[in-house]
Amino acid sequence: MVNFKEDKDLMPLNHSCAHVMAQAVKHLYPDAKFWVGPVVEEGFYYDMDLGDKVLTESDIEAISKEMKKIIKDGKRIVRHELTRQEALDMFKDDPYKIDLINNMDEDTNISCYTQGDYTDLCRGPHVESVKECKFFKLIKFSGAYWKGDANNKMLQRVYGVCFRTEEDLNAHLTELEEAKERDHRKIGKDLGLFMVSDLIGKGMPLYLPNGYVLWRTLQNYITDKEIKYGYKHVHTPDVGTKQLYLTSGHWDHYKENMFPAMEVDGETYVLRPMNCPHHMVIYGNDIHSYKELPLRIAEIANDFRYEAAGACKGLERVRAMTQNDSHIFCRPEQVEEEFKSVVNLIMEVYKDFNVDVNKFQFRLSLRDKFSKTNKYYDDDEMWDKAENALRNVLKDMNLDFFEAKDEAAFYGPKLDVLVKPAVGPAVTIPTVQLDFLLPKNFELSYIDEDGQKKTPVVIHRAILGSIDRFMAFLLEETKGNLPTWVAPVQVKVLPVNNEYHLEYAKEIQQLLLDNNIRVELDDRDEKLGYKLRETQIKKIPYTLVIGDKERDAKTISYRRFSSQDTTTVSKEEFVELLLNEIKNKGNK
């Protein structure tokens, strides 16, 4: 999906279309006043004060109609430079523009743009004429507090998109509809997987019974997979002392993303935002020989990070998450082999979820050595060593990667694996990070073959990322039609008539439970057609219909999700079919 903010052609086009929308609103509501109308990733929006007016769908249609008139008139968009006083005089009756002007730096160049009878304070850029904004669509509207502050007045916000051609616009609108169908928040609600509650807190998802089954399935899957790769799993507290994060360096580089500190018994604690400091302490609990390395410590760990309330989104952007995390302590000469092993694990895992790994993009995320933000630990020699090591490994593996400055962690470079979802731009889920700093900060060591103390290298890696975000990704990839091996309910058993068929249906249910198959029996006094439709809505992989024929012959008749075909087999055949599908994850 296009990023309007970064597209050099669509950004000024959408900026101009925002002004056309404001002009149309001004025609329809002469007393309207405007706050800001920026281009964002999803298109453009404008915040406007319409007094007591609350926009409706019919109002949006009227605004669109007026916009088309303005565009057809084809006025040029003209830029004017203003002094601060000229700007204050021009917008003296608009408190929102006066606020903007008064908050500008003294040396800011102030400009405005005029198109016909409408002038707006704006730095630009814009297209030459409003007629270029012909192919637009206003897509949604909502309330928005001025400056995002709930103590301020509620304004009206209208979102839109604009393209160069009708074909591009229609393609984008189709993609938006597809995205709505794939929105994990909608799917999660429809399937009864998770919920959020303001009483609990924003960004704090609550997993309902079926959602927790899915969550636990993902946890068990990745834990078992890691054990096969030689990982040792640990469990550590959800809090740590401030001193822990001062030692790691996170306090200086990451504290704005942490929850506020807590004072307990004269000591300062914080909810942990990451797990590496805890794992460093675990490694440092013992003396290690070079023969023990690599030591792979893994954890399914709860982490807490501050996200702005407006940024929280379902399971995708949360304040409380569960990370599939690990730290590999190794000798420098083992880095390449361990790095390759992590990449192979990533490929294996995503193939199990039927993700096309051939579409992966590999980004080598580096520091910006000229950054003035103190974002990175200041040690040029360490950074050069780490970046070159990671770059050489990627080249040796023949991975097609690209480099991105100013994307590294504060302690070292990383490989970000960008996964292409069904809809939208690629997203980063797995990451692998190389770290020479934290083992140094925690004074970690191992005894080498010469009896000398050496500092290990640490590889940070996350395969699923957070289980929460991965679940959101999986729901959107599959539209909630989860593979049988992952589905919270794998089989639904429907007796045609409880009086005659319930006893055999219970027998089938127990047989499946005995084989560790997730099964539910629907013995409600409802019509069979109603119950069949519900299994389709809930996207249950297998539905069993138990009637006279099945009871008398001791067989099973099943339907696959989204299929009208019914297949009848023996109980033993069905169990074998299902167990093979679960074991092979639907790949055979």
What residues are labeled active site? 276, 305, 323, 325, 327, 414, 460
Token pair for residue 155? 């304004």
Nearest to 274 by CA among 231, 309, 239: 239
DSSP 314-344: TTTB-SEEEEEEEEEEE-GGGHHHHHHHHHH
- Reading the block at residue 307, the tokens are 């996200």
Burial class (CB in 10 A: 0-12, 13-18, 19+), 586: middle
Whole-angstrom distance, CA of residue 84 vs CA of residue 102: 9
Please report the sign of the dihedral spanned by the C-alpha atoms of residue 303, residue 305, residue 307, residue 309.
positive
Alpha-carbon gap, residue 306 to 260, rounded angstroms: 9
Stated as kind and residue range, the H or E segment containing 194 is strand 194-195
Segment 496-503 long-range contacts (CB within 8 Å, at least 24 positions apart): 496/528, 496/545, 496/546, 496/547, 496/548, 497/547, 498/523, 498/525, 500/548, 500/551, 501/546, 501/547, 501/548, 501/550, 501/551
Query: Tokens at residue 53, please?
Result: 């007016």
Which uninterrupted H or E stretch holds 52? none
- Helix axes of 571-583 and 498-514: crossing angle, nearest 10 degrees: 40
Cβ–Cβ < 8 Å for 70, 94: no
The candidate with the shortest Cα–Cα distance to 39, out of 104, 134, 126, is: 126
Which pair of tokens denotes residue 38? 């920026």
- Is cis: bond before 294, omega within 30 of 0? yes
Tokens read off for 521: 């029996």
| Maximum separation of any 2 CA atoms in the chain, in Å | 92
Judge residue 83's burial from the number of C-beta atoms within 10 Å of its C-beta, 0-12 exposed, 13-18 middle, 19 or more buried: exposed
Give, in order, the Cα–Cα distances in Å from 144 to each of 47, 93, 198, 209, 437: 7, 22, 18, 34, 44
* 126, β-bridge pairs: none
Residue 410, exposed/middle/buried by CB under 10 A (0-12, 13-18, 19+)? middle
First CA to last CA across the chain, in angstroms? 33
Question: What is d(CA 272, CA 242) in angstroms, rounded to the nearest whole number?
Answer: 10
Residue 34 CB coordination number (10 Å): 21
